[in-house]
Structure 1
Amino acid sequence: MSASSTAVLDGTRVLVTGGTSGLGRAMAQALVQAGARVALTSRDAQRAQATAAELGAGAVGIELDVRDPGSVSAAVDRAYAALDGLDLLVNNAGIGMRTVNPRFLTDPQPFWDVTPAGFRDVLETKATGTFLVARAVVPRMLGAGGGRVVTISMNDQTMTRRGFVPYGPSGAAVEALARVMAADLAGTAVTSNILLPGGASATGMIPDGTADELRGHLLDPAVMGAPIVWLASPDAAGVHDERIVARDFGEWLAARGKNDV
């Protein structure tokens, strides 16, 4: 399958956390268009339901605060009830640097000026949230005989960029978590992979007033569509512990095909 072709997912059941905007919405939309049934989440139930209605009959909106174990348990139960199971979990929910520094690109803030509350909120949403949702879903997948987990990460440079506490550390933590999950799941019927855009994307997390020159280089969130559809498709059966850069997905897939020959 090429990066430009469309996989027919034919009812594949997917949970996308943080699916109402940015990368999450782009992935949910691509999955629905490819035939998947998608439960997408937001802390705001009305926003989740409105987004699902916009994406079409294949989508359902669910309220979820990934930081709260009780909310996670209830939301996963609702997703399983609505979709009659899950084949793919996309751990995407996260919040950006704007929440701790609205001018993070033009006026980087040193880590010692970040508030403890701001640090915790970003880390708990991305890293703890990924852990809690995977912890709730993966045992069910193992019991059902299979499933797939895709964790949404970021560039290595972003993880260590000046002024990027706590966003960078949250990405490093979630990527390490994804690799540990892959190690724990080795030899099982559940796979774990990492997907990242490959650059800054036009997700609404870029500060107001950012130069037009920079905005012109932002990736369209739709770049996540082809790789997430492929990862949900039969073509990705057995693919495990891979780190896929969406921007370079076509080249990655071509190289993989050559290596398989």
Structure 2
Amino acid sequence: MSLPDVRGKKVIVTGAGSGLGRAMALGLCEAGADVLVLDIAEDRASDTAAAAQRYNNSSRVIAFRCDVRCTDDCGLAVAATISQLGGLHGIVNCAGLGMPHLRRNAHAEPVRFWEADPDRWQEIVDVNIRGPFLLARAATPHLIAQGWGRIVNVTTSFNTMIRTANMPYGQTKAALEAASASWAEDLRGKGVSVNVLIPGGAADTRMIPEESGYDRSKLVNPKVMVAPIRWLMSSESDGVTGMRFVGRRWSPDLAWQEAAKASGAPIAWPALAAEAAGGQPVSSASPASGVRI
């Protein structure tokens, strides 16, 4: 079967120095997209860019150090993509901080909300919520002007959002999930889609430190994000917005229409909103109004 064509697409991937972001950046580059590999750690961004250049194809890749909490940094990242890569078609908001930022061994010794250091708590909030907002804010006017664009936000599962001893990580992802639904409506009819992509379980990334005690062979491989992000950044996903896709449920062996149906559902669980309002429940397995898959 034919793979989604992302050749010539110009994409910013945040948190691309490691984990899910690195997997998506490399997957896009391998398929021929031009990628701004963005990370707060310049050495990690450079390492991902060097790995991408080994594909020996026409893809162009730039390592870019950026603090997504900084308005100017996000503006510079967008400007650099347009000037150095020749355009901008999509952004992937993957940069994030997890509970180990509060306590390195948080998996073994959970941090209850009253135990959290306020400054480190705020840093998680700023990276996980302010960062995606600032980059989307900087990129969206360009995407609207050209009449085509993609915003993909990496959130998490519903259970993780409400899990005990998981504040503020879970709550920041809940906020980004809600924001994604709102942005999709703000941009409806403008040619710019907003979708969510998650791995579908605890992933084998730096978010789970080596000393956490997890059996890493049972963690989700970050490469599950590759096939869906290629599709989301391609013209094959035109008209698909307001959806969340689970990488682990996406089968690369299926035609993209079938893979999308098997792994997708509307952003932010609208069935819950319908029930809370006393209306008819919305099927979580069906796309939201106006969404094509």
* Higher RCO (C-alpha 8 Å, min separation 6): 1
1: CA distance, partners of 2:185 / 2:235: 22
Residue 143 (1) aligns with residue 140 (2) = no
Quick check: 2:67–2:73 contact (8 Å CA) kept in 1?
yes
2: CA distance, partners of 1:198 / 1:27: 15
Structure 1 residue 50, shift from structure 2 partner: 3.2
For 1:15, the equivalent position in structure 2 comes to: 12
1: CA distance, partners of 2:41 / 2:158: 31
Please identify, of 116-125 and 245-254, the stretch whose mean Cα deviation from structure 2 is larger: 245-254
SS in 2 for 1:19: coil
Equivalence map 1:201-220=2 (5 Å): 201-211=203-213, 214-220=215-221
Quick check: 1:104–1:207 contact (8 Å CA) kept in 2?
no
User: Which residue identity is paired with 2:227?
Assistant: A
For 2:64, the equivalent position in structure 1 comes to: 62
Between Structure 1 and Structure 2, how many residues are aligned?
257
Q: How has the CA–CA distance of structure 1 residues 107 and 33 changed in structure 2, closer, same or farther, with 3 Å as cutoff?
A: same
Please identify, of 118-127 and 5-14, the stretch whose mean Cα deviation from structure 2 is larger: 5-14
Please identify, of 102-111 and 5-14, the stretch whose mean Cα deviation from structure 2 is larger: 5-14
1: CA distance, partners of 2:260 / 2:225: 18
2: CA distance, partners of 1:75 / 1:216: 35
Superposition TM-score, scaled by structure 1 size: 0.92
Quick check: 1:88–1:148 contact (8 Å CA) kept in 2?
yes
For 1:167, the equivalent position in structure 2 comes to: 169
SS in 1 for 2:210: coil
Structure 1 gap segments, 5+ residues each? none
Cα shift readout 1:163-182 (whole Å, capped 9, x = no counterpart)? 11111111111111111110
Alpha-carbon RMSD: 2.1
1: CA distance, partners of 2:261 / 2:180: 24
2: CA distance, partners of 1:257 / 1:78: 36
What percentage of aligned pairs have identical amino acids?
38
User: Which residue identity is paired with 2:32?
Assistant: G
Following TM superposition, the consecutive aligned residue runs of length 4 or more in structure 1 with deviations greater than 6 angstroms are: 257-261
Which one of the candidate residues 92, 96, 99 is aligned to 1:97?
99
Cα shift readout 1:38-63 (whole Å, capped 9, x = no counterpart)? 11101133432332122115211111
SS in 2 for 1:194: strand
For 1:176, the equivalent position in structure 2 comes to: 178
For 1:231, the equivalent position in structure 2 comes to: 232
2: CA distance, partners of 1:255 / 1:28: 21
2: CA distance, partners of 1:195 / 1:67: 21
1: CA distance, partners of 2:260 / 2:202: 25
Equivalence map 1:74-113=2 (5 Å): 74-113=76-115
Superposition TM-score, scaled by structure 2 size: 0.82
Q: How has the CA–CA distance of structure 1 residues 46 and 204 changed in structure 2, closer, same or farther, with 3 Å as cutoff?
A: closer
Quick check: 1:53–1:60 contact (8 Å CA) kept in 2?
no
1: CA distance, partners of 2:93 / 2:212: 28
Quick check: 2:250–2:260 contact (8 Å CA) kept in 1?
no
Residue 243 (1) aligns with residue 244 (2) = yes
SS in 1 for 2:164: coil
User: Which residue identity is paired with 1:24?
Assistant: G
Equivalence map 1:96-135=2 (5 Å): 96-135=98-137
For 2:272, the equivalent position in structure 1 comes to: none
Quick check: 1:29–1:55 contact (8 Å CA) kept in 2?
yes
